[in-house]
């Protein structure tokens, strides 16, 4: 393990003194030696960080930092300036970026537009399903739009049917290095349906398997034609994918299926997917549409026939942080860049760079460079000290902590600590041989800390074959060790700075 520590420690009781003296405001470059509480045996003192670092038990690089929220004073940093992959901890930064740019009450709107004249229930012209960057759009919402279209008096469409997803740039996969079949790396564009995932279900039948591809929700299960699956006899690979004839064409190994099951697969053609499903739902309302075409339709005036609005941005971001949805992060992040710059970004990578530049200007995060907004891309880099500075600022404005998920407090053996007085609200981040945690700790005496912990083994990660990246050998154990180490650090900080 290569560690280049920059150790900065101060006693919590010195915070006010150091903050008052400008010439001595920097934390000393020395390791804090914990002082026992009255009557406390030295054997119970929290371990020094150097000792903890030597005893991590997992390979790779580690960096962490923690600061007092009230004073902003750095309390401890080891490798805090190391540029490491943040994984999904990056979504905390995306949340701040979107909230400041779009506002907490922002809603994304999907519209049904008419290009032509509507008379006696007949639209003489084209119909356009216009995406507005809504990451929460699902089959229920499309069904609502189809019902509203009928209620608007439309019974026949004489022209073509278009799906416009141009408000955001198209990306084939959030991270091209991921296996094709993983649902957490779908395509991204200005329209998404069911988080750009299609439901694949299979059942063993006489002579083979029955398969279905649909866009299900609890209310609807419309079958889709733009994604098709073929079961083939082979041992490996389990899945193959190709883009052919305007469809997502999948094959799956019969030997891997068993008697039956289901999973969500990523969609690579979001506009075609949404158009396919909307045609089915419109037909259920008596409106027959031509096969969908991707585009804005011919120039001219537009008549708004129906619209659907998402929940507020605050609701969307809270859900994103809870479930760590990558598609939501990318669509929200790119929408923020489009609003900030007045035009859609040229690519996902460009939008990640725009957020990085904003973070430098806004929080002084000079060592942060993102290639996306979700943290899925392995080339993204962030330092613990950078993130902690942003967290301290965000906590003072009160915008982030209420959206973060509560993290359970565990003991040194990974067991849940019941009735703990320590509270942790943070964003986790997990990739293969990458683990992160960043957020806030309230200690038992009410002291509030902002912290970030990053760990990564890029060397091991780089040697994983693409087909094994969904569940590579050793990754689960490595990440488990990293999480135990995170809890040991939190216990240390709670003991030292919570008194």
pLDDT of residue 73: 95
Residues 357, 95: Cα–Cα separation, whole Å? 15
Mark 15-43 as b/e (b = at least 16 C-beta within 10 Å): beebeeeeeeeebeeebbebeeeeeeeee
Which residue has tokens 């301290």? 392
DSSP 416-458: B-TT-S-EEEEEEEEETTEEEEEEEEE-TTS-EEEEEEEEE-H
The answer to pTM > 0.85 is: yes
pLDDT of residue 499: 63
| Consecutive H or E run containing 486 | helix 475-497
pLDDT of residue 382: 98
In sequence order, what are the residues at sequence separation of 6 or more whose Cβ sits closer than 8 angstroms to the Cβ of residue 423?
406, 441, 442
Question: How far lies 381's CA from each of 93, 332, 370, 373, 430, in Å?
Answer: 12, 20, 6, 12, 14
Which residue has tokens 């049917």? 161
- Give the orientation angle of helix 313-323 with respect to helix 326-341, to 10 degrees: 140
* Residue 350 φ then ψ, to 5°: -65, -35
| Consecutive H or E run containing 98 | helix 90-102
Structure tokens that stand for 119 in this block: 């008379």
* Residue 257 φ then ψ, to 5°: -90, -30
pLDDT of residue 38: 46
pLDDT of residue 412: 65
Q: Are 438 and 427 in contact (CB under 8 A)?
A: yes
Residues 311, 105: Cα–Cα separation, whole Å? 9
240: three-class secondary structure by DSSP: strand
pLDDT of residue 13: 34
| Consecutive H or E run containing 150 | helix 139-151
User: Along the 499 residues of the chain, how does pLDDT read in single tens digits?
Assistant: 333 333 333 333 333 333 333 332 333 333 344 444 444 444 455 667 777 777 777 889 999 999 999 999 999 999 999 999 999 999 999 999 999 999 999 999 999 999 999 999 999 999 999 999 999 999 999 999 999 999 999 999 999 999 999 999 999 999 999 999 999 999 999 999 999 999 999 999 988 999 999 999 999 999 999 999 999 999 899 999 999 888 999 999 999 999 999 999 999 999 999 999 999 999 999 999 999 999 999 888 999 999 999 999 999 999 999 999 999 999 999 999 999 999 999 999 999 999 999 999 999 999 999 999 999 998 999 999 999 999 999 998 889 999 999 999 877 667 888 888 899 999 999 999 999 999 999 999 999 999 999 999 999 998 888 888 888 988 999 999 999 899 989 988 988 888 6
Residues 157, 288: Cα–Cα separation, whole Å? 7
In sequence order, what are the residues at sequence separation of 6 or more whose Cβ sits closer than 8 angstroms to the Cβ of residue 292?
129, 161, 162, 163, 271, 272, 274, 275, 276, 278, 279
Residues 175, 168: Cα–Cα separation, whole Å? 17
Sign of the dihedral through C-alpha 52, 53, 58, 63: positive
């Amino acid at each position: 393990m290569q560690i280049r520590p920059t150790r900065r420690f101060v006693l919590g009781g010195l915070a006010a003194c150091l903050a008052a003296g400008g010439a001595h405001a920097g934390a000393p470059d020395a390791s804090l030696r914990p002082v026992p509480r009255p009557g406390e045996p030295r054997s119970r003192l929290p371990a020094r960080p150097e000792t903890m670092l030597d005893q991590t038990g997992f390979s790779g690089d580690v960096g962490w930092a923690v600061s007092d929220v009230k004073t902003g004073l750095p309390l401890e940093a080891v490798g805090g300036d190391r540029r490491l992959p943040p994984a999904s901890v990056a979504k905390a930064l995306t949340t701040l970026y979107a909230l400041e740019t779009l506002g907490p009450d922002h809603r994304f709107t999907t519209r049904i537009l008419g290009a032509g004249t509507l008379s006696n229930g007949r639209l003489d012209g084209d119909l356009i399903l216009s995406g507005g960057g809504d990451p929460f759009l699902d089959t229920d919402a499309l069904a609502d739009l189809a019902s509203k279209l009928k209620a608007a008096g439309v019974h026949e469409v004489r022209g073509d049917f278009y799906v416009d997803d141009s408000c955001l740039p198209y990306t084939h996969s959030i991270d091209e290095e991921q296996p094709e079949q993983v649902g957490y790396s779908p395509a991204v564009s200005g329209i998404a349906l069911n988080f750009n995932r299609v439901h694949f279900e299979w059942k063993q039948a006489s002579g083979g398997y029955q398969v279905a591809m649909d866009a299900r929700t609890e209310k609807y299960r419309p079958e889709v034609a733009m994604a098709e699956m073929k079961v083939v006899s082979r041992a490996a690979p389990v899945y193959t994918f190709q883009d052919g004839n305007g469809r997502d064409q999948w094959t799956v190994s019969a030997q891997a299926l068993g008697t039956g099951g289901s999973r969500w697969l990523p969609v690579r053609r979001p506009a075609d997917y949404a158009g396919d499903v909307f045609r089915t739902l419109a037909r259920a309302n008596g409106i027959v549409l031509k096969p969908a075409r991707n585009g804005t339709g011919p120039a001219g005036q537009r008549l708004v026939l129906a619209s659907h609005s998402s929940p507020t941005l605050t609701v969307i971001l809270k859900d994103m942080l809870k479930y760590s949805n990558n598609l939501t992060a990318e669509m929200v992040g790119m929408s923020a860049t489009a609003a900030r710059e007045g035009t859609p970004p040229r690519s996902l990578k460009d939008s990640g760079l725009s957020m990085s530049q904003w973070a430098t200007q806004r929080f002084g995060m000079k060592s942060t460079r993102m290639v996306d907004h979700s943290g899925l891309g392995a080339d993204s880099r962030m330092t613990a000290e950078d993130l902690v500075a942003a967290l301290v600022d965000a906590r003072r404005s009160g915008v982030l902590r209420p959206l973060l998920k509560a993290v359970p407090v565990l003991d040194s053996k990974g067991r849940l600590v019941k009735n703990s007085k320590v509270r942790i609200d943070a964003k986790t981040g997990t990739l293969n041989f990458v683990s992160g945690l960043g957020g806030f700790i309230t200690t038992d005496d009410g002291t509030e800390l902002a912290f970030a912990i990053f760990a990564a083994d890029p060397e091991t990660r780089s040697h994983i074959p693409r087909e094994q990246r969904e569940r590579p050998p050793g990754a689960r154990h490595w990440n488990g060790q990293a999480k135990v180490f995170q809890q040991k650090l939190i216990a240390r900080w709670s003991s030292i700075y919570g008194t």
